[in-house]
């Protein structure tokens, strides 16, 4: 620990910094062997919504309206809720089985025990325009107040042990010292740092004819090539390869992602982002309210039986085994959970492989409550990207809440603790960290029902084995979620896949 952090510990901690809040030990995931904090982080959520039930199931055996289909949606995150909502609007009979005690999945906003009405999004941090087109339709339909989010303005990037401003990353001398070659220096002198991949991606991305057609670009051989090797072949410096990242990924998958964004008119790193006032969980809470008693909490699926004319789902509530039958099933939980559920008859080989091999990452979010926004007094930007895995990103939220206190959110690797994040904050800050009143760490890997965050780029040879098998329906079973869409951008990927499934079932 450096001198600044040692001074902070001795001067500030006794009066202002209570013991760091860690997990309270509830609910361990059998694979991760870590506890999940359910009480201290969030009391707000779908459990308090009008009409949402805990395990009580409405009979799906009753006669639906003429032309209506009976549909079970397994999973109450944004994918499952939006799919169920779209089916309900089309007149179909829908029930949502959510394994946890709340809806929302990775869309989770922390309110208590933060002070003065402050709040923090622990997942689903933002949405963009353009890019989140279906999500924006819901914002407008439900008349949800939203805010412009300045978290990517004045961004400081810590590179080689030193924070760099955007202006410095246009400076030719700085770029040369970082190891870039002449072509890369010329490019970065006039282009944003985050757009560096397009220097090498551009000759490829225009070959993709559409968002969902990665195999019509004439580049299929690149699925067997590591992105780093493709970049080297095309003349990239080792510095550029390091900063572009994803070096071990399928080159075709990485290029396809970039092509999707270009087709949608979305930058690789959108600067202009937004969030819902009061936290992004307002969206999933609203969807759950619209669905009412069609949503059943604490009802994990334990078995799926599929046939030519319908499906039967076994699930558990309060230790009691129950069953539900329907015309269709929508699997809207993560593939990590789906691969643990017995299915009869088994999934076809291609689907089974895709479910078993689609890769995810998991992360943690640190929440700092400070007495004042002291960095403003110091004249420093608090929007960070760093090389430190205990605090890879940092930004402020809930600025609109009328209080002198502030909330900072940090993005950390899954194994980081709250103390790790605090120590990193103290070590990295350009001045003296002061007035930190509370620190919390929400570790998604500890959540037994939402341990997996978004999917990551596939390794070489995997795209052709996973896509489109991961998204394709199997008989009367459909799949919704960020993992079942072409781009892993959380809330929008979830709503896109959900709409696609709802339309398919409605047309069937």
In this prediction, residues 146-151 reach a mean pLDDT of 97
Residues 30 and 123 in one domain: yes
| Structural domain of 101 | 46-105+278-358+472-507
Tokens 């030519």 belong to residue:
308
Lowest mean pLDDT among 13-17, 97-101, 271-275: 13-17
Q: Is the pLDDT confidence value at 134 over 60?
A: yes
| CA nearest neighbour of 456 among 365, 387, 361 | 361
- CATH number for position 498: 3.50.50.60
- 415 found inside a domain: yes
For residues 7 and 117, membership in a common domain is answered with: yes
Contact indicator for 112, 122 with CB cutoff of 8 Å: no
Answer yes or no: are the C-beta atoms of 108 and 124 closer than 8 Å.
yes
Burial of 90 by CB count in 10 Å (0-12 exposed, 13-18 middle, 19+ buried)? middle
pLDDT score for 421: 98
Count of structural domains, the chain: 3
Q: What is the pLDDT of residue 446?
A: 94
Alpha helices (H) along 165-216: 172-177, 182-190, 197-205
Q: Do 353 and 481 share a domain, yes or no?
A: yes
Q: Model confidence over 84-96: pLDDT tens digits?
A: 999 999 999 999 9
Cα 157 from Cα 392, distance rounded (Å): 10
Least confident of 50-54, 226-230, 486-490: 50-54
Q: Which residue has the higher pLDDT, 58 or 25?
A: 58
Say whether both 10 and 111 belong to one domain. Answer: yes
Q: Is residue 333 in some structural domain?
A: yes
pLDDT tier for residue 60 given thresholds of 50, 70 and 90: low
Are 316 and 322 in contact by the 8 Å Cβ rule? The answer is yes
Global confidence as pTM: 0.88
In a domain, 264, yes or no: yes
In a domain? residue 454? no
Both tokens of 55, joined, read 């395990």
Same domain (yes/no): 477, 412: no
Distance CA 285, CA 47 (A): 9
The span from the first CA to the last CA of the chain, in angstroms, equals 62
In a domain, residue 456? The reply is no
Q: Are 354 and 344 in contact (CB under 8 A)?
A: no
- The CA distance from 486 to 468, in Å, is 9
Q: 316 and 200 in one domain?
A: no
Do 175 and 256 fall within a single domain? yes
Domain boundary, last residue among 270, 292, 312: 270
Burial (CB < 10 A; 0-12, 13-18, 19+), residue 308, is exposed
Token readout for 109 is 């906003």
pLDDT at 259 over 90: yes
- Examine residue 462 and state whether it is found in any structural domain, yes or no: no
Q: State the burial class of residue 483 (Cβ atoms within 10 Å of its Cβ: 0-12, 13-18, 19+).
A: buried
Q: Among candidates 72, 27, 39, 57, which has minimal Cα distance to 320?
A: 57
Q: Is the predicted pLDDT of residue 334 greater than 70, yes or no?
A: yes
Is pLDDT of 443 > 50?
Answer: yes
pLDDT at 64: 61
- Tens digit of each residue's pLDDT (9 = 90 or more) over 366-423: 999 999 999 999 999 999 999 999 999 999 999 999 999 999 999 999 999 999 999 9
Residue spans of beta strands (DSSP E) within 414-505: 436-443, 477-479
What is the reported pLDDT for 32? Answer: 28
Cβ atoms of residues 127 and 137 within 8 Å: no
Residue 464 falls inside a structural domain: no
Residues in CB range of 383: below 8 A, 6 or more apart = 150, 151, 152, 153, 154, 155, 156, 394, 395, 396
Q: Are residues 94 and 229 in the same domain?
A: no
Mind spelling out the 3-state secondary structure of 343-380? EECCCCHHHHHHHHHCCECCEEEEEEEECCCHHHHHCC
Whether residue 7 contacts residue 433, with contact meaning beta carbons closer than 8 Å, is answered with no
What confidence tier does 56 reach under pLDDT thresholds 50, 70, 90? Answer: very low
- The residues, ordered by sequence, that sit 6+ positions from 79 with a Cβ below 8 Å of its Cβ are 105, 332, 480, 481, 482, 484, 494, 495, 497, 498
Computed over every residue of the chain, the mean pLDDT equals 89
Are 398 and 327 in the same domain?
no
Please give the DSSP secondary-structure letter assigned to residue 450. S
pLDDT on residue 66: 72
Q: What is the pLDDT of residue 319?
A: 82
pLDDT-derived band of residue 476, with 50, 70 and 90 as boundaries?
A: very high
The DSSP secondary-structure symbol of 335 reads H
Q: Return the exposure string of 162-185: e unless at least 16 CB atoms fall within 10 Å of the residue's CB, then b.
A: ebbeeebbbeeebbeebebbeebb
Q: Is residue 452 part of a domain?
A: no
**Arithmetic mean of pLDDT, 156-166:** 96
pLDDT at site 262: 96
For residues 318 and 346, state if they share a domain.
yes
């Amino acid at each position: 620990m450096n001198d600044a952090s040692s001074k902070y510990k001795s001067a500030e901690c006794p009066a202002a910094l209570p013991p760091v809040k860690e997990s309270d030990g509830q609910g361990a995931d059998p694979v991760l062997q870590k506890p999940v904090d359910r009480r201290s982080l969030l009391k707000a959520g779908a459990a308090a919504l009008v009409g949402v039930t805990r395990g009580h199931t409405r009979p799906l055996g009753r006669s639906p309206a003429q032309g209506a289909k009976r549909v079970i949606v397994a999973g109450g995150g944004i994918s499952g809720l939006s799919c169920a909502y779209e089916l309900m609007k089309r007149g179909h009979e829908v029930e949502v089985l959510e394994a946890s005690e709340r809806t929302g999945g990775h869309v989770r906003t922390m309110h208590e025990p933060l002070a003065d009405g402050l709040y923090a999004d622990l997942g689903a941090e933002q949405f963009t325009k353009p890019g989140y087109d279906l999500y924006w339709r819901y914002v407008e339909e439900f008349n949800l107040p939203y805010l412009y989010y300045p978290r990517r303005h004045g961004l400081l990037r810590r590179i080689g042990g030193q924070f760099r401003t955007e202006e410095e990353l246009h400076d030719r001398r700085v770029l040369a010292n970082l190891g870039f070659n002449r072509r890369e220096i010329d490019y970065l002198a006039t282009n944003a740092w985050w757009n560096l991949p397009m220097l090498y991606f551009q000759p490829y991305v225009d070959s993709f004819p559409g968002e969902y057609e990665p195999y019509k670009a004439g580049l299929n051989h690149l699925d067997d090539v590591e992105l780093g090797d493709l970049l080297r072949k095309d003349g990239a410096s080792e510095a550029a390869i390091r900063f572009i990242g994803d070096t071990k990924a399928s080159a075709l998958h990485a290029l396809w992602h970039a092509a999707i964004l270009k087709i949608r008119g979305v930058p690789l790193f959108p600067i202009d982002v937004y969030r819902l006032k009061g936290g992004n969980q307002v969206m999933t809470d609203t969807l759950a309210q619209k669905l009412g008693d069609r949503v059943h909490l604490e009802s994990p699926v334990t078995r799926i039986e599929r046939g030519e004319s319908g499906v039967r789902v076994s699930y558990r509530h309060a230790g009691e085994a129950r069953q539900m039958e329907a015309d269709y099933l929508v699997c809207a939980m993560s593939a990590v959970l789906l691969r643990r559920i017995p299915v009869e008859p088994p999934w076809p080989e291609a689907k089974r492989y895709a479910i078993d091999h689609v890769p995810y990452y998991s992360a943690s979010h640190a929440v700092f409550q400070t007495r004042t926004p002291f960095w403003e007094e110091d004249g420093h930007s608090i929007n960070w990207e760093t090389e430190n895995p205990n605090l890879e990103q940092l930004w402020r939220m809930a600025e609109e809440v009328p209080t002198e206190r502030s909330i900072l959110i940090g993005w950390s690797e899954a194994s980081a603790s709250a103390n790790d994040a605090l120590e990193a904050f103290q070590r990295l800050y350009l001045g003296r960290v002061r007035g930190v009143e509370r620190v919390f760490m929400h570790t998604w890997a500890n959540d037994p029902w939402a341990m997996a965050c978004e999917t990551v780029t596939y390794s070489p040879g995997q795209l052709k084995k996973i896509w489109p098998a991961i998204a394709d329906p199997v008989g009367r079973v459909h799949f919704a979620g960020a993992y079942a869409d072409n781009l892993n951008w959380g809330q929008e990927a979830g709503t896109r896949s959900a709409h696609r499934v709802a339309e398919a079932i409605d047309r069937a």
